[in-house]
Chain A
Amino acid sequence: MHRHVRPALAAATATALAVGVGGCAGWGGGPSGGGPDTINVLMVNNPQMVDLQQLTAEHFTAETGITVNYTVLPENDVRDKISQEFSSQAGQYDVATLSNFEIPIYARSEWIAPLDEYVAADAEFDQDDVLGPLTASLSGDDGRLYGEPFYGESSFLMYREDVLDAAGVEMPANPTWQEVADIAAEVDGIEPGMAGICLRGQPGWGQVFAPLTTVVNTFGGTWFTEDWEPQVDSEEFRTAVQFYVDLVREHGEVGAPQAGFTECLNNVVQGNAAMWYDATSAAGSLEAADSPVKGKMGYVAAPVVETDSSGWLYAWSWSIQQASAKKDAAWEFISWASSAEYEQLVGEELGWSKVPAGKRASTYDNPDYLAEASAFAEPTLAAIEAADPNDAGVQPRPAPGIQFIGIPEFPDLATQVSQDVSSAIAGRTTVDEALQRGQQLAEDVAERYRERESK
């Protein structure tokens, strides 16, 4: 009868495990939230957050006695979870990473707590050191401050200085998109497997439509006019998208319809692209100690057509949930994570290329940081300071935002349109068809706002 021995054993083990597991506290059951000196933080899994996690116990908990429990999720998942958690005011999390896209919207719904009083009482934090455009974009309609940036970014053009020099091509300090397209044509294929330029083509409002909306802006286009008329099939919008699609199809990277930030970063690091228009925060990775292109890159302002500047503005920031019962501890955490002192700590412990930069003016006066980041520090600061979410294109807009329109419907709308744009990059549809569909989708959104405003 040996045949039941094994299942019997398995059952016994399972029971023993269940009993053993149930017997130990420390995970699983019990009310979440822990003691009064424990805060829960929900954050996106970007490298800067991973560094923060690593430094918290030794440098924050040890000094303040506040334990921080992190939940780390990929960007899309974290957005879902944050909106679910904050809209229901479940109070599980005290702090979450929100961006300057969500913060004004969440502030309007009173899901997040204003920070002005904390800032005023915390002289050491020095809000005036935080770059002006960021403070403005993290404030609500009521003028109060609802978020503190962890790191900020704009967009600019990165290029292989060595490759362009060898080809005898000069990059203007403030290039136009036409000049960039000409350079892309010239250096395309100059080294085996090297594309002229890398541009995002992956569907998603935060993927292809981040750089593409800035291109639309500077070509004179907009998603909506000030009085909510959709402009997706307008001449300017169409010209901009056609330009972008043509450029990436003719001189762009292999696999462009699937390429997002990460893919382009890989392409540039591996020498598969001569130029890249993307987030300023990418420069830290390009200039990291183990990067094969370290010291070979040049950085200039985002290309323009009709506007003076076209770089976007984005900041992963900390906000406190309105339902949190531990707002004081939460602020203490934020004021540490967003401080100049924390940047110094990262620089000394992990290396200056890992500093969550782009949010404080003092970062760009720090000789240690500049020694590491001299190649891109000045263009980054200039790009962020030139970004104006309230004046992003040639015409007035109904809502703030540069690479997005600050309305809750935008992610859904732009993601749907981006599917067709990505198809156009793959050659499966035309730009005209993509934008006609986009116009209908935009009209659905615009109609709601027009109705609301006429009431």
Chain B
Amino acid sequence: MSSVTDVAPVAATRTPEGAPRRPRKPRSGALLGVAAWLIGFLFVVPVLWMVLTSFHSEEAAATNPPSLLAPLTFAGYREFFGVGTGTSPWPSLLNSLTASVVSTVIVLLLAIPAAYALSIKPVRKWTDVMFFFLSTRMLPIVAGLLPIYLFAQWSGLLDNIWLLIVLYTAMNLPIAVWMMRSFLAEVPVEILEAASMDGAGLLLTLRQVVAPIVLPGIAATSLICFIFSWNELLLARTLTGTVAGTAPVYLTGFVTSQGLFLAQVCAASFVVSLPVLVAGFAAQDKLVQGLSLGAVK
């Protein structure tokens, strides 16, 4: 434990001086690295556990204490993909994809102009407008569930994916407007002025000047909207039935009060989280830029 005592004085001497940040000494840097890895590992353990369990048999998954080294099997995945059970996860996965992608695209189409009108060319009382957007999130969704259900029943939209698309759009729009506003606010006014001095029109400015700066922000916003829509359960469970059920609803269907289901649910959870993971990795570099862009403010 000698290493710990080494670190403390280093940290203690640095802070009171308030000196400009210098590169850390390699040793404490390595320690911080180890700590970061440890903490990161702790956060990933449940996910790894889920993945491992998904490759176990139901009996091995249910033992207590857990049997880590149980033989691996694809039974959980076979079950999820409906081999020999007369079910298929594809309709629900496609429903989720439709709902998430379409609602995200609509959200972006609406949120970006709105955010533009709240930051670069702010409308009058734009703070009130911002607050209005936020206020639509103050009512918990569950409080609106019954009216929405009755409306859906009355309008014949129960079990229709377009209803979910509209609701997910409404659900994510305020967040997207808030996020996009903070990204657009990052665009320095001087650049816009310079562009207009050089004779660039609105469209050209948007395309050549604003877009490159806020693209990471758009990536971050769309990923957030995509994740929220993809993972949404409450509305989907209430408003869909046999046709428009989404992946989270299908996922919960593996839970049973009689019999074993852990391995199946883990396999299903892993498959259902894959698209979000893939989207996250694909947008990773943009995302870090985008998220830190907002965080500085």
Q: Enumerate chain A interface residues (CB-CB to B < 8 A).
A: 1, 3-4, 6-7, 10, 14-15, 17-18, 21-22, 26-32, 40, 42, 44-47, 50, 53-57, 69-75, 77, 81, 84, 88, 90, 92-93, 206, 255, 260-262, 265-266, 269-270, 281, 285, 290
**Pick from A4, A88, A260, A265: contact of B215, CB under 8 Å:** A4
User: How close is A130's CB to chain B, nearest CB, in angstroms?
Assistant: 22
B-side interface residues, number (CB < 8 Å): 52
**Interface residue from A3, A27, A255 paired with B91 (Cβ < 8 Å):** A27
Q: Mark B176-194, 1 if CB is under 8 A from A, else 0.
A: 0000000000000000000
The reply to whether A54 and B84 form a contact with Cβ atoms under 8 Å apart is: yes
Q: Known contacts A6-B286, A45-B255, A47-B258: does B87 contact A1 (CB below 8 Å)?
A: no
Ordered by A's residue number, 11 sampled pairs between the chains whose C-beta atoms are within 8 Å are A6-B282, A17-B101, A22-B98, A27-B95, A28-B98, A29-B244, A69-B243, A93-B241, A261-B257, A262-B260, A281-B258
A32/B159 in contact, CB under 8 A: yes
CB pair B256 A47 closer than 8 Å: yes
Q: How far is the CA of A110 from the CA of B282 in the complex (A)?
A: 54
Contact A266–B62 (Cβ < 8 Å): yes
Q: Is the pair A32, B257 in contact by a Cβ cutoff of 8 Å?
A: no
Instruction: Output the nearest chain A residue to B150 by Cβ-Cβ distance.
Output: A88
- B153 proximity list for chain A (CB < 8 A): 88, 90
A21 contacts B258, CB within 8 Å? no
Interface string of B252-292 (1 = CB under 8 A from A): 11111111100000000000000000000011001000000
How many Å lie between the Cα of A22 and that of B98 in the bound state? 7
Determine the residue in chain B with the shortest Cβ distance to A56.
B86
- Determine whether the beta carbon of A7 is less than 8 Å from that of B105: no
Contact: A57 with B286, CB < 8 Å?
no
A90 to B259, CA, bound (A): 31
CA distance A28 to B286 in the complex (A): 32
Contact status A32-B252, CB under 8 Å:
no
Cα separation A74 to B95 with both chains bound (whole Å): 21
Closest to A316 in B: B258
- B156 CB to closest chain A CB (Å) equals 7
Which residues of A have CB within 8 Å of B282? 6, 10
Given the interface pairs A4-B212, A21-B101, the reply to whether A74 lies near B237 with Cβ below 8 Å is no
Knowing A4-B215, A10-B282, A53-B87, say if A32 contacts B258 (CB, 8 Å): no
B114 within 8 A of A: no
Asked whether A262 and B258 contact (CB < 8 A) given A45-B253, A54-B85, A270-B63, the answer is: yes
- Chain A residue contacts of B91, Cβ below 8 A: 26-27
Q: What string of 1s and 0s marks CB contacts (under 8 Å) between B76-95 and chain A? A: 00000000111100010011
In the complex, what's the smallest C-beta–C-beta distance from B167 to chain A, in angstroms?
Answer: 14
A290 to B259, CA, bound (A): 14
- B203-238 to A contact mask, C-beta < 8 Å, 1/0: 000000001100100110010000000000000011
CB pair A32 B244 closer than 8 Å: yes
Closest B residue to A285 using CB positions? B259
Chain B: minimal CB distance from A178 (Å): 30
In the bound complex, CA of A45 to CA of B212 (Å): 50
The residue from B105, B211, B212, B243 contacting A14, defined by CB atoms under 8 A apart: B105
Residues of A within 8 A of B150 (CB): 88
CA distance A449 to B265 in the complex (A): 42
A261 to chain B, nearest CB (A): 6
